[in-house]
Every structure is written in structure tokens, then in C-alpha cells.
Structure 1
């Protein structure tokens, strides 16, 4: 699970540091170049139900393999095609692979370690954080060594193919990875619990993607250099790596998910607010917010495992939460950019992120009191 998760973010995170080179080489507009980052996040939402269905049809082992192969193979093809629109078009199957992999991971945890859902989630959430952080750090040096952005993205894609091979070999013959009884997951549109999870994920992902997109520009506006301002996102990612596992592990042993999620959301809120009102300590606040963000992500991804007993119902909750959450979260950078245009200040953008995190804190408090050690069976069918 850890190895598979390493491949679930580099193809989108690696675009940001290379965007200027990509835009120049392809002679593309800002809007077209922005699609390379927007499409994968939208796909993570739109194709989460497809991932849950593939788990039911084929089993989680094969579903994850398909997702990883899509990421790796089409990532390589995207790096070699000459046309701008072919590069954009081939980003779609890469995003589909990411969507399938994201939806498969919680279901695989439910199968393999049902008695320790937070620990299992923490393992792959940590893999996601490490994959994203390493990709952001190495894509520019790789581009310098390998002849440009194409060589850099191809290298990431080859690594994803290696991850797909490792996953297939290591999971070969695993008894837990079996097909379900033939019932395909349906999105639980009428279930209040499913909508609560979706709202939690929307508020969390919107705040996170908004910060990643606009925090550096907010500090450049304050007079920082591009390099120093970009370091804030690196700091935000750095502390999220250990937090993803450690806070999940602690929640499984002390108090359950709800109080830990409320605490992480509150710290995330305070860290983001401090970035606005106490900019002199920006790196410290970014590190603090990163701890909270890593904890929030891992804990939220564990919630479907807490709130449903059967594998099929876990798949339904995951499909709903990620489908709605990533789809709306992908709009956040654009919407917050519009806030900047309307107000003339990035402070307003960061305050919107604070409001989103206040919603996250409030929504977390609405979770069932038993969201903790052991699943809580809820009716999530239509």
C-alpha cells in the first residue's frame, strides 16, 4: 500500500514547478497550461465511483494495478507527444488512473487490516505525502539533467510503472483481494452520513489546494522572493509526512477519530490564520499547518472505514466522499483566484481558507460519537 501510494500524486504535483517551461515549450496560454494541473484533480473526483466499481468487478489488487498502469504508461506517452492538445488529452487517462487508485486504497485497507483501519490508512496516506513532496523537490533538477520538462515527467512515469510492477508482485495471491458478491457500489445520494463525509472532504481539500496554489504568491505580494515564498509550500508538505501516520496511529489508540480530527482541523485553522496576521513566523506556521493537514487527510480517509461495516458500503462511502470532494476541491484555486481579482489582495484568499477550515472543524463535530475504535454501521444505501 505504501509503494502504490507513492505514485498517486507526482503527476499532478510535479506540474507546478515545471509549468513555465511547459508553457514556453508548447507555446500554450496560462489557461491551457493550467489544465495539466486541473484535469487530474477533477478526475480524482469524477472517477472515484469508477474505482469503487472496478474493486467490485475485479477485486482491489487488479483495480489498483489498472490505476497505476494508467498513470505510468500514459504519463510516458504524454511526455513524448509533440502537440499541446495531445499533452492535454493524455493527461485525462493519467488522472483516471489517479482517481481509480485513490478510491481503491481505502477499500484495500478495509480488506487487509479491518481491525486497524487508521494504521492502514496512515501507511498509504504517508506514501501519498512522501510521493508528492519528493516529486515537487526533484522535478526541476531532473529537468536540468534529462533535457527538459518532458524528460522529468517521463522519469516520474517510469517510476510509476515500477511501482505498478512491485504492487502486482507483492500482492500476488493475496487472499483478501477478491471480488465482491457481484453487487456494484451505488452512490448513496440519500444518506446524510455520506453527505457529511463529502462536505468534510470538500472543505478540507478546498482549503489545502487553495493554500498550495496561492500561499507563495501571497508572500511574494508581501515582498518575499519567489524562492523563499515557495519554501512555505515545501514546509507545509514536509511535516505532513510523519503526521499522516503518527496521528492516525494515535487516534486508533486514544480517543477515536472525531476528537483528533476536530483538533487537527482547529490547528490547521489557527496555523493558516497566523500566516495572515503573524507573517514574521511564516515558516513555523507553515510547519504547524502541515502537521494538521497531514493528520486531517489521513483521519478523513479513515472515516468511511469507521462508518460502514461491509466492503460494499465502504466502497459507496469512499466513492461519494472522493467523488464530490475532489470535484469541488479542484475548483478551489480558480475560485480563490477570482477572490484575489475581486479584492486586490491575497489576504482575502487566505481568510477564505480560514473560513473553509472553520467549516471543517464544525462538520467534524457532527460526526457520530462512536467514530473511533471499531466500525459504526450506518445505512448508506439509497
Structure 2
């Protein structure tokens, strides 16, 4: 038998193993992502019970959403530095352990301070995971990166839907609202175990693309780059709609006579639509560097949804699903947009971490602003109108992200040069 003939089965087996490893890693990524929002959305449908037991006011209750989002911000940058010290695998495990511990502690949390502490700890853990995941995905999937990022985004939002739907039902089954919050420690422990077994596959070294300065990855350089700040502002305003709806959508419909389970189901429906869009839209946009029309389309869908809420269109579920579709597609496309700016996975991941850092802090303030508008106007209609105005601003900002100017906009960042071409693998994602 010839050498070529002998080599063919071996190559085929190696290709099969690589394919199975890629699928296995994708499943682990999905499991991890599910844990990044469930703890956040589980509390919103239970606010009535939580406020009754702890004495929290509306602004205090909003902190259960605001604190985790705000905590995610600094960890998005600190996570990059931590991973350089202890390794990505250990840092990812630390983030998942923090989420598990925070959720488990809620079984005993009976005071506002304890609830706030658990919310902040969970946010820190989620921020650490989110800081590392974009670079891991870009490195592990140089071809098809947009599809896997869409899968990650859809699972992240799907976890939010599970929290919104499952939280009140678990609390009702157990007869205790603590159970609806503490249950989410279980999937976090499962994700931690899966990562411990399979995480090494995500960290295989790969050659840096030709022409990049992979050693120059300090996130401090992002502070002097206008494009990095523009991405952070865009990402923050885009996610401000999500955080506002997580905080206020169930209470808004509870005021209209909806039960906690029904209001939670409405939030879960919004999240289900996010899941569909977060996966489908990047897949449809695959192979296109020009993402602006796709982003604009998602923003127009959001605008229609906020208008529907403001006008109290009935039935409400289609309006909420429309909002979820626009939010989900916009989130995943924004992540791909940041990664598209630089060809090197670590550099692109650092830029995405900077975007998430300040973006999440901006998004964390959104429930306070919308809550203030609601207090000033006496109804949630004004809050929905304010969010519609923000969407119009985002439409204007979208056209600043011309892909032909990505290289110029990131010139000097991490040692990159103007006009650096993207590798074929990146262009063909």
C-alpha cells in the first residue's frame, strides 16, 4: 500500500477527531453561556415577593439588575489581566465558580444587603467569563467564527429566558422565592465540571496571523483609541434596552393585572425571540464584512417594538417577541463587529473586552434612567418612548462602522498598522 493511501485514513481520522472536538467545545460554550443571564432574569418576575419579604423599594429592586451589569464591566478588563497571570482555563473556572456560589448563597439571603452582595458576585463571575469567551471563540473557530458567536449569544440569552420562566415556577413549586433564585447554582456547577473536562481544547496554541503584533495586547492602549470608545458607547446603549426590559417589563405588566408567572413568561418569550435572532442573524450575515445594514435592520425592529409597547398594542406577546428579535440580533452582531476590527484573536478579544467593560456599565445605568422617566411621567409609556429615542441615536451611530475604515480606526492599537489586511479565514467567516 502506498504512503498516500496509508496516510488517507489517518488524515480522515484526524479530521473526524477535530470535528468532534469542535462540536464538543461548542456544546460546552453553550452550557457556559446559559449561566450568564439566568441569575439576572430570575429575580425580575419575583420582585413582588422579594420586595414584600425584604422591604425593597422599586429603585432598590432595580439594583438586582443594575449591580450585576455594572460588576460585569470592570471584570471584562480585569479578566484579561487575570487570564494572563493564571491562564484562561483557570480564570474561566473561577468565573463559573463565582456564579455558582452567588446563586447558592441566595437560598439563605433574607436581607437586601445579602441579595445585593449575591447579585454583585454573580455579575463579577459573568464579567470574567464574558471577557475571555470572544477570544476563545475567535481562536478556536477561525472559520465560522460569526456562527459560533451567534450560538454563544443565543445560548446566553436563552439562559435569560430560562431564568425568567423557571424562577417563578420553581419558587411556586418550592413555596419559597429563595428557591427560584438559588436553583441556578446547579447549572453553573454543571458548566464548571464540563469546562474542567473540555476546557483545554479551547486553549490550543495557534499561530498569530502574519503582520500582527501579538505581544502587544495591553488593554490600556484602548483608552486612547476613539474607535474603542465608540464601540463601548454603542454596545452600552444597545444593551440598555435589554437591561431596562429585564428590570421593568414584568412590573409594567404586573401593574396591568398580570400574574408573576404570566409576566415572567412574557419576559421568557422576549428572550426566546432573542435566542432565535442571536443565532440566525449572524448566520445569515456570514461572509459579509458590511454589517451596518443588518445592525440597522435590528434597530428598526426594536423601534417598532418600543412603539408597540408605548401604544399598548394588543396582544402584547407579538410586540415583546419583536423587541426580543431586534435585541438578540443586535447583541450578537455587535460582538462580531468588535471582533472584525482586528485579525489577531487575542487583540480582538481585548478590544471586545474593553467594549464590554464600559458598555456594560453604561447598560447598567439604563434601568435607573428608565425608572426615573417612569417616576417623572407616572407611567411606563414615557420609559418606552425614551428607549425608542435611544434606538434612533443608535441608528445614526451605526453608519460610523464602515468596514473599509476598521484598519485605520485601530491604527496603532496593539502595534497594528494602517491598512493591515484581514486573513482569508476571517473574511470568509
> Structure 2-normalised TM-score?
0.80
More displaced 10-residue stretch of structure 1: 204-213 or 128-137:
204-213
Is the 8 Å Cα contact of residues 41 and 246 (structure 2) preserved in structure 1?
Answer: no
Q: Which residue of 2 aligns with 1:198?
A: 232
Q: Distance in 2 between matches of 1:172 and 1:269?
A: 42
How many angstroms does 1:29 deviate by?
4.7
Q: Which residue of 1 aligns with 2:391?
A: 357
How many angstroms does 1:48 deviate by?
1.1
Is the 8 Å Cα contact of residues 62 and 367 (structure 2) preserved in structure 1?
Answer: no
| Deviations 1:40-59 (CA, angstroms, capped at 9, x unpaired) | 11111122111222233334
Kindly report which structure 2 residues correspond to 1:124-273, keeping only aligned pairs within 5 A, or say none.
124-176=152-204, 184-186=218-220, 188-218=222-252, 223=256, 225-226=258-259, 231-254=265-288, 256-273=290-307
Instruction: Report the CA distance shift for 1:70/1:203 in structure 2 as closer, same or farther (over 3 A).
Output: same
1:309 paired with 2:337, answer no
Count of matched residue pairs: 379
Instruction: Report the CA distance shift for 1:69/1:122 in structure 2 as closer, same or farther (over 3 A).
Output: same
How many angstroms does 1:231 deviate by?
4.8
SS at match of 2:63: helix
| Deviations 1:321-372 (CA, angstroms, capped at 9, x unpaired) | 1111111111111111111222233222111111111112221111023489
Instruction: Report the CA distance shift for 1:378/1:302 in structure 2 as closer, same or farther (over 3 A).
Output: farther
1:14 paired with 2:56, answer no
Instruction: Report the CA distance shift for 1:68/1:329 in structure 2 as closer, same or farther (over 3 A).
Output: same
Q: Which residue of 2 aligns with 1:24?
A: 52
SS at match of 2:219: coil
Kindly report which structure 2 residues correspond to 1:3-152, keeping only aligned pairs within 5 A, or say none.
3-81=31-109, 83-152=111-180
Q: Distance in 2 between matches of 1:82 and 1:211?
A: 26
Instruction: Report the CA distance shift for 1:229/1:334 in structure 2 as closer, same or farther (over 3 A).
Output: same
Structure 2 residue ranges without an equivalent (≥5): 1-28, 207-213, 416-429
Q: Distance in 2 between matches of 1:33 and 1:350?
A: 19
Q: Which residue of 2 aligns with 1:280?
A: 314
Structure 1 residue ranges without an equivalent (≥5): none
Is the 8 Å Cα contact of residues 108 and 177 (structure 1) preserved in structure 2?
Answer: no
| Deviations 1:162-211 (CA, angstroms, capped at 9, x unpaired) | 11111221223544269x85954325112121112112112211122223
Q: Which residue of 2 aligns with 1:380?
A: 413
Q: Distance in 2 between matches of 1:298 and 1:162?
A: 25
Is the 8 Å Cα contact of residues 187 and 317 (structure 1) preserved in structure 2?
Answer: no
Is the 8 Å Cα contact of residues 104 and 182 (structure 2) preserved in structure 1?
Answer: yes
Is the 8 Å Cα contact of residues 71 and 93 (structure 1) preserved in structure 2?
Answer: yes
Is the 8 Å Cα contact of residues 45 and 264 (structure 2) preserved in structure 1?
Answer: no
The one of 336, 359, 368 aligned to 1:334: 368
How many angstroms does 1:15 deviate by?
1.3
Instruction: Report the CA distance shift for 1:61/1:304 in structure 2 as closer, same or farther (over 3 A).
Output: farther
How many angstroms does 1:139 deviate by?
1.1
Instruction: Report the CA distance shift for 1:135/1:149 in structure 2 as closer, same or farther (over 3 A).
Output: same
SS at match of 1:125: helix
Q: Distance in 2 between matches of 1:235 and 1:379?
A: 44
Instruction: Report the CA distance shift for 1:62/1:292 in structure 2 as closer, same or farther (over 3 A).
Output: same
How many angstroms does 1:230 deviate by?
5.4
Q: Which residue of 2 aligns with 1:299?
A: 333
Instruction: Report the CA distance shift for 1:83/1:335 in structure 2 as closer, same or farther (over 3 A).
Output: closer
More displaced 10-residue stretch of structure 1: 298-307 or 212-221:
212-221
How many angstroms does 1:275 deviate by?
2.9
How many angstroms does 1:161 deviate by?
1.0
